[in-house]
Structure 1
């Protein structure tokens, strides 16, 4: 079995590692080189290696599909519990989820978004855009009332 296909394969693996660690624009070019090298290595590989890779991919996708089916069944069970009358506990947990969703997280700190009241006033600004009269709506922020 010729081992020539390993050269682009290992080149692809090394460049994929560099692509993963790189954050600048050169990383994108390296990512393209990695993808091309991996594809070229798999094309040059003997049929036994290609068959082995195909079996590995099929087995792994089967496991992923089983995990997704398990999650789907769990969601169906939760929906049945909600519909059957045990929804009091679910409602309390949903209220906690809603409170958690009301707070936002930005760079490690939590905050709650404030409601900003915006008033749209019709104001005509005289102007022309490509030879046609142009009308624009002016947006004015109004102070928030404390009621």
Structure 2
């Protein structure tokens, strides 16, 4: 078996490494060279190597598809549970009044802002920075009295 196909493969791997590390425009050209040399190396490879790579690609693709299908099924189950819970909440909350408070959303989940028990007052910080007198106005949070 001739090993001449290893030369373009090795060249492609080195060029790919340089492409990943480079941020200049030359890096894009090197990326194209890497892709071409990898393709050329695979074309020049003996049929035994090509069949082996084909089997590896099929097996890895099958495993990835199985993982994605499992995640998709889990998401569907979760979505169904959310829909059932929302329907039950709508039915139970119809006689109640709707609050006018803003509902916040973070990463797909809804929440309400916590009550803030602080009053904002201005304070002044006096000090020295590199030998020069320095003043800074700073906002100070003081606890609000509960009435």
Range of TM-score over shorter length = 0.5 to 0.7
Partner of residue 2, structure 1: 2
Query: 2:98 aligned with 1:99, yes or no?
Result: no
* Deviation, structure 1 residue 26: 0.3
Taking structure 2 as the reference length, what is the TM-score of the superposition? 0.59
In structure 2, runs of 5+ residues without a counterpart are: 90-102, 109-147
Q: How many residues align?
A: 94
CA distance in 2, matches of 1:99, 1:16: 38
Counterparts of 2:58 and 2:40, CA distance in 1? 21
Residue 124 of structure 1: aligned partner: none
Return the offset for 1:100: 4.7
Bigger CA radius of gyration: 2
CA–CA distance in structure 2, aligned partners of residues 82 and 24 of structure 1 = 48
State the Cα distance separating 1:82 from its structure 2 match. Answer: 1.4
After superposition, residues 1-147 of structure 1 pair within 5 angstroms as 1-85=1-85, 98-100=105-107
Structure 1 portions without partners, runs of 5+: 89-94, 102-147
CA distance in 2, matches of 1:74, 1:65: 14
Task: Give the 3-state SS of the residue equivalent to 2:106 in structure 1.
Answer: helix
SS of 1:23's equivalent in the other structure is coil
- The Cα offsets for residues 17-72 of structure 1, whole Å up to 9 and x where unpaired, read as 00010000000110011011000000000000000000011111111111110110
Structure that is richer in helix per residue: 1
Which of the pair is proportionally richer in strand? 2
- Please name the residue that 1:134 is paired with: none
* Distance of 2:107 and 2:78 partners within structure 1: 20
Q: Given the two structures, how large is their TM-score scaled by the length of structure 1?
A: 0.59
CA RMSD of aligned residues (A): 1.9
